[in-house]
Structure 1
Amino acid sequence: MTDTRIAFIGAGNMAASLIGGLRAKGLDAAQIRASDPGADTRARVSAEHGIETFADNAEAIQGVDVIVLAVKPQAMKAVCESLRPSLQPHQLVVSIAAGINCASLKHWLGAQPIVRCMPNTPSLLRKGVSGLYATADVTAEQRDQAQELLSAVGIALWLDQEQQLDAVTAVSGSGPAYFFLLIEAMTAAGVKLGLSKDVAEQLAEQTALGAAHMAVASDVDAAELRRRVTSPGGTTQAAIESFQAGGFEALVEKALGAAAHRSAELAEQLGK
């Protein structure tokens, strides 16, 4: 992206994280610009990252190669329709808004190459993971641009079918909340077992962090890692058997299915 010019439409937390990631990777501030209706937001992003900001979206996209749509899904239709007269055919549009499919974006924007992304909230710490889907008119160079953009805040994985973004939403988009829920539950159980809340919370949080690091760094899958720490007849086996007796795996499958179904529903509702 040495010569790529990027405009962010919307300069909220996720946009600011992407901008910070790009700047940390060496992208010059002169190559990045952002627009936002909030004067305070514009001032903060400009001060933190040294980029030019605009109140007018159409002005912000003049002369850029990549346009990142980082606005709330409910505002996407109005934003896209207002941008349409100012768009150039070569400009890549990258949407990081949940629930807005490519067909809706094409309808509102016109014949633009589009990459739709589903990042998650750890992207704010540059520890995220994103699923990406490109329309057929996206060039190889533009795919590389989108890949580098999302890689600035974590891992970026390409999908073959847009429908798979509903599954990505279920697994990783909503996923951080599942781990937060487990941390909450482990903390509460630790307190009932006699620990102070502070100690129980730190034990649960650090255990989650350590387990994630082990899973990422290991050359075996999570199932094998679990087997390695589950001694026959030991304490871990007692806990795992209790989880499984309660239908743990089936409950997780049901929960992720509900999230994926809701993702598809929202795409239909928000795309009208």
Structure 2
Amino acid sequence: MNQTPIIALIGPGAMGEAIIGGLLRKNIITPERIRASGPLATRVEALHERYGIQPYTDNAQAVQGADMVLLAVKPQKLSRVISGLRGKISPSAVVLSIIAGATIQIISEGLQHQAVVRAMPNTPAQIGEGITVWTVSRYVTPEQMEFSRQVLLALGQEVFVEEENYLDMATALSGTGPAYVFLFMEALIDAGVHMGFPRRIAEQLVNQTILGSVSYYQKIGGHPAQLRNQVTSPGGTSAEALYYLEKAGFRTAISRAIWAAYERSLELGKGLNSKPPEE
């Protein structure tokens, strides 16, 4: 890989822009070495104005001579995108995909390219506070793997796994995880408003409670059950609330929801695999 690698980003949406911002914020690469390609000229030109990156509307042109091709398109657009890129990527380049459900096999066979990294980031990556689970094909070199790690660190934390099936699990747990947290926050805020708090106060109380609880857990450590027991006095308000949550099947609902998301991730992968790339 070149000392000053070129990254071609295909799919300059919200996560694509997060990657650009993270790479520049961490000084991993300079703007002129980043190419962003998408169908809307206004979008890539806006990114050019904002970050100084190179704008493209032709994916095949964008990947010419690139050391890394980063796929960040929606799953339903994958077939058309990889069809247009098949045989166009340099053999020495590495392809990094963050497309949900798209296996390494789908990407590799569709592009006719062997060095593929598959990653699953989450929404907080857009502010550099995400966590990404990732794995690689056996054709990815140690140098390409390390560069991929640096790119993913621009989004927050990273967890490398040897087995690709963990990516579908990560999609359900951490990839979709922010949605569960936001729903929980929404429910707490609405409960506060129902009791009589002004919404702005309820929001402040819930935001800091969740932020502080996570920070406390990270600092103190131990099992979450231990920390929960510390704030649960016998016969107290916490005990009463927790009893009702358990009675209502709170744990089971969460577990079943995550399992449903996991099964859906597997279905998406099967759907992508069953549809040959469009010519």
TM-score computed with the length of structure 1 as normaliser: 0.94
CA distance in 1, matches of 2:205, 2:260: 30
C-alpha distance after superposition, 1:172-204 (max 9, x if no partner): 111111111111111121122222222222211
Among 31, 42, 45, the residue aligned to 1:43: 45
1:186 paired with 2:188, answer yes
Tell me what 1:90 maps to.
Answer: 92
CA distance in 2, matches of 1:30, 1:200: 45
Tell me what 1:9 maps to.
Answer: 10
Q: How far does residue 47 in structure 1 lie from its aligned partner after superposition?
A: 1.1
CA distance in 2, matches of 1:75, 1:217: 42
CA distance in 2, matches of 1:217, 1:86: 49
CA distance in 2, matches of 1:5, 1:251: 45
Contact 2:87 2:112 in 1 (8 A): no
Structure 2: unaligned runs, 5 residues or longer:
none
Contact 2:128 2:155 in 1 (8 A): yes
**Structure 1 stretch displaced more, 197-206 or 213-222:** 213-222
Matches within 5 A, 1:67-216: 67-216=69-218
Contact 2:87 2:113 in 1 (8 A): no
Q: Give me the identity figure in percent.
A: 39
Residue type matched to 1:71 in 2?
V
C-alpha distance after superposition, 1:87-145 (max 9, x if no partner): 12111000011111111112211132111111111111111111101111111111111
Residue type matched to 1:76 in 2?
L
Q: How far does residue 2 in structure 1 lie from its aligned partner after superposition?
A: 5.7
Tell me what 2:19 maps to.
Answer: 18
State the SS of the aligned residue for 2:96: strand
CA distance in 1, matches of 2:213, 2:42: 39
Residue type matched to 1:160 in 2?
E
Structure 1: unaligned runs, 5 residues or longer:
none
CA distance in 2, matches of 1:82, 1:49: 26
State the SS of the aligned residue for 2:163: coil
CA distance in 2, matches of 1:2, 1:196: 55
Matches within 5 A, 1:52-71: 52-71=54-73
CA distance in 2, matches of 1:219, 1:254: 27
State the SS of the aligned residue for 2:35: strand
CA distance in 2, matches of 1:2, 1:131: 26
Inter-CA distance 2–190: structure 2 relative to 1 (3 Å threshold):
farther
Contact 2:67 2:90 in 1 (8 A): no
Tell me what 1:233 maps to.
Answer: 235
Residue type matched to 1:21 in 2?
G
TM-score computed with the length of structure 2 as normaliser: 0.92
Contact 1:7 1:67 in 2 (8 A): yes
CA distance in 1, matches of 2:46, 2:218: 34
Contact 1:90 1:112 in 2 (8 A): no
State the SS of the aligned residue for 2:87: helix
CA distance in 1, matches of 2:50, 2:225: 43
